[in-house]
A and B are shown apart, each in its own frame.
Chain A
Amino acid sequence: MGFYLRLAWRNNLRNKRRTFLAALAVGLGLAALIFTDAVSSGMLKGLIDTATGTFMGQAQLHRRGFMDTMDPDLHVKDGPRLLEELRSDPLVLRAAPRSLSFAMIASPTNSGSVMLYGLDPEAERGVSRLEKAVKKGDFLKEDGDSVVIGRRLAETLGVEPGDRVVITAAAAGGGDLAQALFRVGGVLDSGSRAMDSDMAFIRLSRAQKLLNLGDNFHEIAVDFRSVKTAEDKTSPFWRKYGGGGNEAKGWPELVPELAAAKDLNAFGIFLTAVILSGIVALGIMNALFMSLYERMFEFGVLRAIGTRPWRLGLMIVGEAAVLSALSSLLGMLIGYAACRIVGIHGLDYTGVDYAGVTMLQPIRPVYRALQYWLYPSALFVFTLLVSLYPAVYAARMSPVKAMRRSL
């Protein structure tokens, strides 16, 4: 085996420039695949992080039917007990209770409709990044009548921290309208259009009082110890918390556009791989056939002195294997280097909405193990398969014809 590997290696080195160019062409294909995977994975990761980390959480619990009707009476069934249970669940990292209600917010100069959230600032700190997004004022400090609104809404209402606004919302227990005076405690700038213009946040205890909820709430936002739990339909979490009148949904169900984008991304990578494979196949075959035609006489001699046809074919496959190994090495180096370079500043698409989520961070390539073992391995196997064509061609060539032909 060592003899044949040595032979394959040296045959590849016969025409160093051609071998290098062929390896570079194939390597660039692999590098492109690695880079495409890394960037699209980075984009998805950024979108999922933004969607789940900014406010939504990786999963949510609601009373069944609440998200369709927003009926204030449909609070999480047995909410306080479930909240405690969630907080002691080994799968769960954090859980934050919230109330939700459609509301009107009015300043002396303007008014607007908002989704009014009642939040527990302490619990919220780990689940969402609201506090970090506050640019003016503070995030729901002890003052029970404080409201935090987005920058765009503040501009619409013409208010600043310290100004007063009136909030009107439908309360539980019959749907009577409840109204209260609040003071703008903070203005946030999250970068998300929806959050900055259509949401208002007050303390959960104040919301429970305003909406007549008692100690109940409408939503529990959950972060898992592993984000993969949110995508794992078979996790016992969903069965455990999704029954008894409540429903539990992970981010793929909460933001189906994003889940679809993830599937589309996987398909895009597959398509890229297929196209690049075609290019790689042609590159490898071209290099092998060039080498084969150049050495036709030599193959004839090898057959003449007793080399079996299949062994001659195996030599071609061996050369392809060496070329593929070189190409993989080059491809991984180039792919890694490209990812590192792009990773320094990232690709800046901040503010762009994609799949219903606003990109808040530059896209940075994500390194995944499969980029450096699956893709090169697939390339290697694919190269061997492609090399079978010239290998069979060489094996079937009659020795005397081979010795008559040369370039």
Chain B
Amino acid sequence: MDKENVIETKGVTKTYQSGEVKVHALHPVDLAVARGEFTAIAGPSGSGKTTLLNLISGLDTPSSGKVRLAGREIGAMSQSELSDFRRDHIGFIFQAYNLIPVLTVEENVEYVLLLRGVPPGERAERVKRILEEVGLSGKHGRFPSQLSGGQQQRVAIARAMVSGPDIILADEPTANLDSATGAALMDMMRGLNEGRGMTFLFSTHDRMIMEKSTRLIALKDGRIDSDTRRQR
């Protein structure tokens, strides 16, 4: 496997049992994503986008095949090891933001650093910096319910990025946002990708994300239908 690849899958499949019927959500998928890529996985509903993302992140286990992340095979890891691995290497951005509603903006972002055992002073400094970066200075004491959808997604982006992970996995990050806010967020993420060299992998059916990505992988019926790169 290539050293530069931060995500690699080899013959990864996922089959669900639905009563008597076996549902093949994902046929063997071979995929390699290089460090610093800004990649979108696109496809209609049921094409296997989210399943693939779940397998790549170790949230779900493949029926067969292997997943390597940041140079490590994740299939043999225990649940605790997987938690630690995700904490240290992966940032998540969800469609519905999924912030902890009882934590303030600052605390939501701080939580990831707390899990990593970062000292309080450094935590405060890093949270302040990332909130400035995503344009949320002055909102640190607010609760998610006091923010707009776009602002909440910015908090989710800050939470995903604050620990400096190798990979950001984003599942339909603009699906709940209006097009202008979605575009602004994509520009912001693109900026962070270029500035920090983080790898972004989106699952989406939003054309705007596809256009702004540097690589577009199309999934169809659980298989890779096409894989195209374009110039930045």
Whether B87 lies near A306 (C-beta < 8 A) is yes
Output the least CB separation between A316 and chain B (Å). 14
Whether B115 lies near A11 (C-beta < 8 A) is no
Whether A400 lies near B100 (C-beta < 8 A) is no
Whether B88 lies near A306 (C-beta < 8 A) is yes
Given the known A-B contacts A301-B94, A305-B159, are A400 and B84 also in contact in the complex, defined by CB atoms under 8 Å? Answer: no
Interface residue? A310 (CB, 8 A): yes
Contacts of B159 on A, CB cut-off 8 Å? 305
Whether A298 lies near B100 (C-beta < 8 A) is yes
How far apart are the CA atoms of A11 and B160 in the complex, in Å? 23
Residue of B nearest to A309 (CB): B79
Binding site of B, secondary structure by majority: helix, strand, loop or mixed?
Answer: helix
Chain B contributes a number of interface residues (CB within 8 A of A) equal to 29
Residue in B59, B102, B160 whose CB lies within 8 Å of A10: B102
Whether A304 lies near B79 (C-beta < 8 A) is no
Contacts of A297 on B, CB cut-off 8 Å? 98
Contacts of A305 on B, CB cut-off 8 Å? 86-87, 91-92, 111-112, 115, 159-160
Whether B102 lies near A7 (C-beta < 8 A) is yes
Whether A14 lies near B102 (C-beta < 8 A) is yes
Interface residue? A262 (CB, 8 A): no
Given the known A-B contacts A306-B83, A307-B83, A398-B60, are A301 and B114 also in contact in the complex, defined by CB atoms under 8 Å? Answer: no
Whether B83 lies near A400 (C-beta < 8 A) is no
Residue in A304, A306, A403 whose CB lies within 8 Å of B84: A306
Residue of B nearest to A10 (CB): B102
Output the least CB separation between B154 and chain A (Å). 16
How far apart are the CA atoms of A14 and B103 in the complex, in Å? 11
Output the least CB separation between B85 and chain A (Å). 8
Per-residue 0/1 for B149-177: is the Cβ within 8 Å of any A Cβ (1 yes, 0 no)? 00000000001100000000000000000
Whether A11 lies near B83 (C-beta < 8 A) is no
Whether B115 lies near A306 (C-beta < 8 A) is yes
Whether A310 lies near B86 (C-beta < 8 A) is no
Residue of B nearest to A402 (CB): B59
Given the known A-B contacts A3-B114, A309-B83, are A304 and B59 also in contact in the complex, defined by CB atoms under 8 Å? Answer: yes
Interface residue? A303 (CB, 8 A): yes
Whether B59 lies near A399 (C-beta < 8 A) is yes
Chain A contributes a number of interface residues (CB within 8 A of B) equal to 23
Contacts of A301 on B, CB cut-off 8 Å? 92, 94, 98, 100
Output the least CB separation between B128 and chain A (Å). 17
Contacts of A310 on B, CB cut-off 8 Å? 80
Most buried by A among B84, B86, B88, B110: B86
Contacts of B60 on A, CB cut-off 8 Å? 398, 400
Interface residue? B203 (CB, 8 A): no
Output the least CB separation between A20 and chain B (Å). 17
How far apart are the CA atoms of A400 and B87 in the complex, in Å? 16
Interface residue? A308 (CB, 8 A): yes
Residue in A13, A298, A306, A308 whose CB lies within 8 Å of B112: A306
Residue of B nearest to A396 (CB): B79
Output the least CB separation between B62 and chain A (Å). 12
Output the least CB separation between A349 and chain B (Å). 51
Interface residue? A388 (CB, 8 A): no
How far apart are the CA atoms of A169 and B89 in the complex, in Å? 101
Interface residue? A326 (CB, 8 A): no
Residue of B nearest to A403 (CB): B59
Interface residue? A302 (CB, 8 A): yes
Per-residue 0/1 for A299-340: is the Cβ within 8 Å of any B Cβ (1 yes, 0 no)? 001111111111100000000000000000000000000000
Task: Show the binding face of B for A, using Cβ within 8 Å.
Answer: 54, 57, 59-60, 79-80, 83-84, 86-88, 90-92, 94, 98, 100-103, 107, 110-112, 114-116, 159-160
Q: Can you name 17 A-B pairs with beta carbons within 8 Å?
A: A3-B114, A10-B102, A11-B102, A13-B102, A14-B102, A301-B98, A305-B86, A305-B92, A305-B111, A306-B86, A306-B115, A308-B79, A308-B80, A308-B84, A309-B83, A310-B80, A398-B79
Known: A10-B102, A305-B92, A306-B88; 8 extra A-B contacts, CB below 8 A, are: A3-B111, A3-B114, A7-B103, A305-B86, A305-B87, A305-B115, A306-B86, A306-B112
